[in-house]
Structure 1
């Protein structure tokens, strides 16, 4: 039984790494697009994006290093994540300051839900990847909390919240397949 479980566990760990790597890549592009528009319309929040971008770039590098060291391919949809991130970030930013923060709250709360089950699985199967995923959790919580703090209630922008949540869930699902 262990001989069939080990390859399945390995495949799942590789899938987790690919999804998280791609997600960080997408987040970088979301925040870059929002920062670009914020520089013109909401300059007082640009420093928030500088900090969040630095976090996401660090997360991406960490997952990238593990993928490379383990000779695991990245998600085939990285360019799609970049494009989707740029479009989603731009769309939210063009809808206004509150939409930016509702978008951030929606993405990060969805990501944190996803990280929860990953951590449960990885705690049993891969300490290094568990540590990597756990290390990003606090930053993602901080981003989520900023979104909630600076934006209006997600209920006030329910449509934006829902669209962003579903787009994020779809991107996560797609990354598990590619």
Structure 2
């Protein structure tokens, strides 16, 4: 090994392991994210047949959003395995609830299906933003101490930011396709947003 490499290694900031509190945060974050992406794939699976039957031109959009959610789900499955995090014990409940929500809003029509997407993605976008802020806070605190976050967590931040941006893209698609024309708009979105918050709270803990 060259002296240049030795010097660069000796000058690199030390990497600090996660504290117990940070480990708990990461475990709960990944558990919730995986459950949320599972739910998203099931919602689109149930919505797509009735929506596309009534509006064939939406086939490619529904497939695009489903494919992105399936990719997100795959990413978080891999992250759960890598970081040895157990899935939420509520997994079967969220599976059933997501399928029912998707089927119900799909049968109510395009506007209701899009209102569902708007509500879900609003909550999920806020949730991912909170995770990104927390992870950046860790990085800043370590930087202030002359230490460095594990490179794998830097990759995790990039993954969450990318997934968040794709979820917000879905929100834009929903608004472009008359989500706010759903009848009744406010009860639909309020119930779904409250349900998402409740599911996040429960999955963080169970």
| Alignment TM-score > 0.5, same fold | yes
Note the residue ranges of structure 1 that are not aligned, 5 or more in a row: none
User: What is the Cα-based RMSD across aligned positions, in Å?
Assistant: 1.7
Separation (CA, whole Å) in 1 of partners of 2:161 and 2:204: 20
| Pairwise CA distance, 1:37 | 2.0
Match of residue 167 from structure 1? 195
Separation (CA, whole Å) in 2 of partners of 1:135 and 1:77: 26
Q: Contact 1:77/1:175 (CA < 8 Å) preserved in 2? A: yes
Match of residue 89 from structure 1? 102
Matched residue SS, 2:85: coil
TM-score by length of 2: 0.79
2:79 matches 1:66: yes
| Pairwise CA distance, 1:46 | 2.0
Note the residue ranges of structure 2 that are not aligned, 5 or more in a row: 1-17, 139-152
| Pairwise CA distance, 1:66 | 1.2
TM-score by length of 1: 0.91
> Structure 2 residue aligned with 1:127, among 148, 151, 154?
154
Q: Contact 1:154/1:161 (CA < 8 Å) preserved in 2? A: no
| Pairwise CA distance, 1:154 | 6.6
2:21 matches 1:33: no
Match of residue 101 from structure 1? 114
Match of residue 117 from structure 1? 130
The runs of at least 4 aligned residues of structure 1 exceeding 3 Å deviation read: none
Separation (CA, whole Å) in 2 of partners of 1:129 and 1:36: 34
2:64 matches 1:57: no
Q: Contact 2:35/2:88 (CA < 8 Å) preserved in 1? A: yes
Separation (CA, whole Å) in 2 of partners of 1:96 and 1:117: 32
Separation (CA, whole Å) in 2 of partners of 1:42 and 1:155: 15
Matched residue SS, 1:75: coil
Q: Contact 2:51/2:107 (CA < 8 Å) preserved in 1? A: no
2:31 matches 1:18: yes
- Count matched residues: 174
Q: 1:122 to 1:78 in 2, by over 3 A?
A: same
Q: 1:120 to 1:154 in 2, by over 3 A?
A: farther
